[in-house]
Amino acid sequence: MGQYALTVQGEIKLNILQILPELNVGGVETGTLDLAKYLVRLNHKAVVVSAGGKLVKDLEEVGAKHYQLAVHKKSLFTMIKMVSLLVEIIKKEEIDIVHARSRVPAWIAYFACRRTKTVFITTCHGYYKKHPFSYVMGWGKKVIVLSNIIARHMIEDFAVPHDRISLIPRSVDLEKFKYLSPNKKRGKEFNIAIIGRITPIKGHLYFIKAMAKVARVVPSLKIWVVGDASPTHQAYKEQVQVLTRRLGLGHCTEFLGTQKNIPEILSHLDLLVLATTTHEAFGRVVIEAQASGVPVVATEVGGVVDIIENNKNGLLVPPGDPASMAEAIIKIFKDPQLAFNLAEAAILKVREKYNVGLMVENTLKVYLDAIENPRLLIIKLSSLGDVILSIPGIRAIREKFVHHKISFLVGEESKDLLLKSPYIDELLVVDLKGKDKGIAGLLSIARILRKKNFDLVIDLQNNRLSHLLSFLSLSLNRYGYDNRKLSFLLNYRIKDDKPRIGPVEHQFRMLKLLGIDLRDSHLELWPTEDDQEYIENLLNTQWLSDDQKIVGINMGASKRWATKCWPRQHMVRFCDELGLRNIRVVVTGIEDDLPEANMLVNAVKNVKVINACGKTTVNQLACLIKRCAVYVSADSSPLHIAVAMRIPIVAFFGPTDPLRHMPPAKDYLIIRKELPCSPCYKARCKDKKCMNMITAEEVLEGVDKFLK
């Protein structure tokens, strides 16, 4: 990818490569030439790749560079060969953006961009059939469409996200197409033309049938058929010519073939007809005619309705209806004032909305947006405590990637933690235990990630699922640990060979790959005023006096980690001793902890325990812990919440290693029994000796230290 630079005026200089099948006369080709011409004028580099054609000379005359490759052939072997050749051109010209304008070139460009990590952009010049071959046109980081109907088509039929769609209509170069009022052109002959390639979708047969009706009313009628048929449509061209002779129009009809000088032809026309029968992506010839002062009668299809307001700047007729077409043509012939009014209204709209300068300006905005506003994905699916521990990393990523839009992929159970985070622009929530479970869920998540078109993925989860999702996102840059858990799917990774370091330090060891150093390890959460008010109301119902201190204790850990639980008899003794000192105890936990918590409350004699199990959300729990003087917990997410809320903690570590899991606290006491079997990382244990050996007295001693 080219390193785009600043021009003398301080603006970014871009190296742009456009790729299309051929450079012969046509709407796509004219748009490519116009854009290249103005890019050069604005001091950007313009490169075009095509199979060649009549406009190559014109392209090179405006200062653009052309490479001739066989990017028009649908042969798979040829397309694969062209990918390598295009890669060489991208590297040689230091291209920043590859802009594909047709499907075969788009497939070639897509894979070349992946190999060179170059920005890939597409323009949809047609109403594509919903076919696998067409999907590549929706894979651009930005997808340019020419009209509203094409935008809807790409969104609804090809699932392109709305925020990746950019509406930029085709334009007309007003330096080439000069306005001449219809009043100054009308003479003895009335000249009508249809301009475009001769193919069934352009409706030539309906046009000729309409002309037969017009000829009965309009004397000295001249009909010009501008454009030619491809080798596959020669039979259709002959059919049009036969119909012309059969209807008696041979004497006044000229088949002019492909014409390069369209401005000259339009300068002699009294009327242009567009007879297209299917959705027209836009209809460049319409605005070219309007720029030249030629009234237009067009079928009401596709993007044409964006250009023409019926009876205001043109006349619209139903497709495939020669009678209505003839009626509209005759109406303009008989009413020169109507022709004048339509032309005057049309040129005003063309100058305002369809001038080439505006098209170039808007296209450059798309280019710059694609380069200057990259997208970044952070993956951290579980668990609640681990998500809290990732916050220093998220904060550092935000500081490093100031201009990136940062999305965060998180599990359903942890989403509330990050709803108010100032470091994240978008939260993507997955339910791995519900709707996103299994292979179907994996593919569904992957589809969502691909649509986002991320430039960079940072995998903080570092397991098989997260590595797989990183790869399936199709991001060009995927960072994480090399831990043999499908980590070969990442293209930037570091060996996970220093496991006995703190959890935050462990994350930053990988983030070092991105040039991110650990400068600030503090945890933080963002509860709301509503969360705070809820806790105040909860405590007010517990007859808590103003001078009473609260000590919080967490009932246990997740269902999986029964070995982390401190025995209930120790908790009872601990609570009773605090009660003797006029200190209230609040017990926290999830709803599943309620039976155990109720037994604890009933067993305690010296203090009324506040049972908050199952009564708080994560953010409400943060506010509750914030009210505590000290918080006591085993290695679990509430311990991390207490650290984030700056509350002194007494932490129990039994089956797990505090060197690996202790959050970065300021005021803390770790209680751990050194046993031959510890840390064992076992979820089940017969005697749980490591936790049973922790006495109420030593926990009280730790609490007293902080209370004093």
Number of residues in the chain: 708
The token pair that represents 360 in the structure block: 């170039």
Same domain for 658 and 623, yes or no, is yes
Is residue 595's pLDDT more than 70?
Answer: yes
Let me know whether 485 and 540 are in one domain: no
Residues 6+ apart with CB under 8 A from 278: 127, 201, 301, 302, 319
Q: Would you state the structure tokens that stand for residue 476, as one six-digit string?
A: 């060009």
Q: Do 168 and 144 meet the contact criterion of CB atoms below 8 Å apart?
A: yes
Q: How many CA atoms lie within 13 A of 664 on its CB side?
A: 20
Per-residue pLDDT at 222 exceeds 50: yes
With a CB cutoff of 8 Å and minimum separation 6, the contacts of 436 are: 430, 442, 444, 445
Taking residues 57-82, report their average pLDDT: 95
Q: Is 686 helix (H, G, I), strand (E, B) or coil?
A: coil
Q: Could you tell me which residue, 125 or 328, shows the higher pLDDT?
A: 328
Residues 504 and 558 in one domain: no
Question: Mean pLDDT across the stretch 183-191?
Answer: 86
pLDDT band of 317, cuts 50, 70, 90 = very high
pLDDT value, residue 645 = 96
8-state DSSP, 11: P
pLDDT (0 to 100) of residue 530: 96
Query: 224 and 313 share a domain?
Result: yes
Average pLDDT over residues 590-603: 88
Contact at 8 Å (CB) between 691 and 678? no
Inform me whether the pLDDT recorded for 127 exceeds 90: no
Asked if 15 and 96 touch (Cβ cutoff 8 Å), the reply is yes
* Closest listed residue to residue 634, CA positions, set 603, 615, 610, 655: 655
Does 73 map to a domain?
yes
Q: How far apart are CA 674 and CA 680, in angstroms?
A: 12
Token pair belonging to 448: 């969502």
* Lowest-pLDDT range of 1-10, 225-234, 566-575, 661-670: 1-10
Instruction: Report if residue 595 sits inside a domain.
Output: yes
- Tokens coding 423: 């470091």
Q: Are residues 558 and 480 in the same domain?
A: no
For 416, phi then psi, to 5°, come to -60, -25
Q: Which of 18-22, 161-165, 696-700 has the highest mean pLDDT?
A: 18-22
Per-residue pLDDT, 558: 67
Residue 128 identity: Y
Could you tell me if 203 and 132 lie in one domain? no
Q: Which of 100, 175, 196, 178 is nearest to 356 (CA)?
A: 175
Phi first, then psi: what are they for 313, rounded to 5°? -125, 20
Given a cut of 50, is residue 696 above it in pLDDT?
A: yes
Same domain, 143 and 199: no
Of the residues 323, 354, 385, which one is the last residue of a structural domain?
A: 354
> Which domain covers residue 300, as residue numbers?
182-354
**Are residues 303 and 333 part of one domain?**
yes
- Backbone φ and ψ for 516, nearest 5 degrees, come out as -105, 120
In a domain, 161, yes or no: yes
Whether 229 contacts 222, CB under 8 Å: no
Last residue of a domain, one of 167, 192, 208: 167
621-655 confidence digits (pLDDT tens):
999 999 999 999 988 899 999 999 999 999 999 88
Pick the closest to residue 398 from 448, 458, 481 (CA basis).
Answer: 458
Give percent above pLDDT 90 in the chain: 74
Amino acid identity of residue 517, one-letter, is D
Cα three-residue angle 129-131-137, rounded to 5 degrees:
80
101 and 21 together in one domain: yes
pLDDT confidence of residue 474: 92
* Whole-number CA gyration radius for the chain: 35
Q: Is residue 366 part of a domain?
A: no
pLDDT reading at 7 higher than 70? no
In a domain, 172, yes or no: no
Which of 104, 139, 167 delimits the end of a domain?
167
Q: Which CATH number fits the domain that encloses residue 186?
A: 3.40.50.2000
Q: How far is CA 622 from CA 532, 551, 611, in A?
A: 9, 14, 15
Residues 564 and 510 in one domain: no
Q: Rounded to whole angstroms, how far apart are CA atoms 531 and 114?
A: 46
Lowest mean pLDDT among 161-165, 280-284, 535-539: 280-284
Q: Is the pLDDT of residue 11 over 70?
A: no
Whether 631 contacts 625, CB under 8 Å? yes
Instruction: Give the amino acid at 337.
Output: Q
Domain count, the chain: 4
Q: What are 666's two structure tokens?
A: 């300021």
364 found inside a domain: no
Q: Does the structure show a pLDDT above 60 at 9?
A: no
Instruction: Say whether both 566 and 659 belong to one domain.
Output: yes
Specify if 369 maps to a domain. no
**In this structure, is residue 173 part of a structural domain?**
no
Domain match, 18 and 63 both: yes
